[in-house]
Chain A
Amino acid sequence: MTKARDLANFLGDNTSLGTINDAYDAGTLVPSSTNPSLIINGDMRISQRQTSSTTSGFVLDRFFVGSQGGTRTRSQEAITSGAPYDLGFRNCLKFTNTVAGGNNTTDYVESYYKIESQDVATSGWNYTSPSSYITVSFWVRSSVAGTYTFWTRCEDANANTYAFTYTLAANTWTKVTHSIPGHSNLVFNNDNGAGLRMQWIPFYGSGHTSSSATINAWSTGSSLPDQSTAWNTTTGATFELTGVKLEEGSEATDFQHTSYAEELAKCQRYYETGRSSSTGYGAAGTGFFGCMVDYKAEKRATATLTQSSQSYFAVDGNAIFLGSVGLSYTLNDTNGFYHCAVHDNVNCKYVFTYTADAEI
């Protein structure tokens, strides 16, 4: 039974505020213990760009994946059983060591997530106070038993980092929770820039770590402890992540599941894909296409634009025209763009898809 169902059952005929207040006082109506999360796509459902890749970039929305050495496949994978499945998680971000790394000094494998600074600043976390906390929680599984590192950095005062380690048994989903205190050095501007960078690390080579790293405290020195090389050198090793949540307070509360549509809309602040069309007039080489595209969601910043899947059609019914047009966006802001391009055929239609990338 969900809390929403409990509340609905209780309300039934109890519609007066007095009755509800009495129930709260008597402890028969318990408020929800689920805090909102600062993480978007923490359940790894949204992958607008692609579902698998071996190069650095985004696979799951909002979670950048990068590596050096070997061939590391990053993919959105289905969860079909286990503790996360029982809690409603159906997808995870998965690293697979398709070709193991060969350099235990320079190799690395990571995923990071950047939260907008204004979202940290307004989260309720009194981040300059050591007695005020944020809490991170996530489900993680690796095929290689060992100790792994979570690392975070304050991007507006980016000498300040914090890390903790956690130990995994092989092939066992584990829920990790950790509360991070505030610190007087921390700065989070009330703007759309990067605020807090959170990082999951299947492997960092010794050239990126230190035997004297500081963990479990904010540090301006190294905070990346040395790691075992086992994951890096094991062909076929896997590392899976889901259920990522970051919340104000010193306790981890239940993951707040939302609808697919709601989560997609949040992701579209940072990236979206869509399509549009326009009709070109005028002589070949001097006539132009032009159309306004309004985004599905306002972007975090002015977006980088790409276009693809272009199709050209002659209006007069002649054979489909395939030609080349210039890439030109004469108006581009956080709400949309005006697409303009010179065409090289007389009177034709133009259909295109676009991507708009405003990731941090």
Chain B
Amino acid sequence: MEDNMNITSAQYLANKDGSNYSVKATIDGQEMSVPLDPANRHYAEILKQVEAGTLTIADAE
């Protein structure tokens, strides 16, 4: 079976110039800083759930 992560929140973190560098996400109950690297399994899962329409990444504050 595939590893289905329970992602309950996701928000971009941005540099001062406004460019995003990470996603702050709560995955399986733990807050994580997920890099924007498609080879990272957490980011790959975030992209998968966004594409499926089950997750939205909030803009950086």
Q: Which residues does A use to contact B, with CB under 8 Å?
A: 55-57, 64, 66, 68, 108, 110, 192-193, 208, 300-306, 327-330, 332, 357-360
Residues of chain A with a CB closer than 8 A to B34's CB: 304
Q: Can you report 29 residue pairs joining A to B where beta carbons are below 8 Å apart?
A: A56-B3, A66-B3, A110-B1, A300-B39, A301-B39, A302-B35, A302-B37, A302-B39, A302-B40, A303-B35, A303-B40, A304-B32, A304-B34, A304-B41, A304-B43, A305-B32, A306-B32, A327-B24, A328-B33, A329-B33, A330-B15, A330-B21, A332-B21, A332-B35, A357-B41, A357-B42, A358-B40, A359-B41, A360-B41
Residues of chain B with a CB closer than 8 A to A110's CB: 1
Could you tell me if A208 and B1 are in contact, using CB atoms closer than 8 angstroms? yes
Could you tell me if A306 and B31 are in contact, using CB atoms closer than 8 angstroms? yes
Residues of chain B with a CB closer than 8 A to A300's CB: 39
Closest B residue by C-beta to A359: B41
Could you tell me if B42 and A304 are in contact, using CB atoms closer than 8 angstroms? yes
CB of B54 within 8 A of chain A?
no
In the assembly, what is the distance between CA of A301 and CA of B15, in Å?
Answer: 21
Interface string of B35-51 (1 = CB under 8 A from A): 10101111100000000
Which single member of A68, A332, A357, A358 contacts B22 (CB below 8 Å)?
Answer: A332
Residues of chain A with a CB closer than 8 A to B24's CB: 327
Contacts A57-B28, A332-B22 given; does A304 touch B1 at CB 8 Å: no
Could you tell me if B28 and A301 are in contact, using CB atoms closer than 8 angstroms? no
CB of B10 within 8 A of chain A?
no
Min Cβ gap B8→A in Å is: 15
Closest A residue by C-beta to B27: A304
Residues of chain A with a CB closer than 8 A to B28's CB: 55, 57
Could you tell me if A329 and B41 are in contact, using CB atoms closer than 8 angstroms? no
Residues of chain B with a CB closer than 8 A to A330's CB: 15, 21
Min Cβ gap A348→B in Å is: 22
B6-34 interface with A by 8 A CB criterion: 13, 15, 21-22, 24, 28, 30-34
Min Cβ gap B34→A in Å is: 5
Min Cβ gap B24→A in Å is: 6
Closest B residue by C-beta to A328: B13
Closest B residue by C-beta to A110: B1
Min Cβ gap A238→B in Å is: 21
In the assembly, what is the distance between CA of A306 and CA of B28, in Å?
Answer: 13
Residues of chain A with a CB closer than 8 A to B21's CB: 329-330, 332
Closest B residue by C-beta to A301: B39
Min Cβ gap B40→A in Å is: 5
Which single member of B3, B15, B33, B42 contacts A327 (CB below 8 Å)?
Answer: B33
Contacts A301-B40, A305-B33, A332-B21 aside, 14 further interface pairs with beta carbons under 8 A come to A57-B28, A64-B3, A66-B1, A66-B3, A68-B1, A108-B1, A300-B39, A302-B40, A305-B32, A306-B30, A306-B31, A329-B21, A329-B33, A358-B40
Min Cβ gap B7→A in Å is: 12
In the assembly, what is the distance between CA of A192 and CA of B39, in Å?
Answer: 8
Min Cβ gap A131→B in Å is: 33
Residues of chain B with a CB closer than 8 A to A66's CB: 1, 3
Could you tell me if A301 and B37 are in contact, using CB atoms closer than 8 angstroms? yes
In the assembly, what is the distance between CA of A329 and CA of B15, in Å?
Answer: 10
In the assembly, what is the distance between CA of A332 and CA of B34, in Å?
Answer: 10
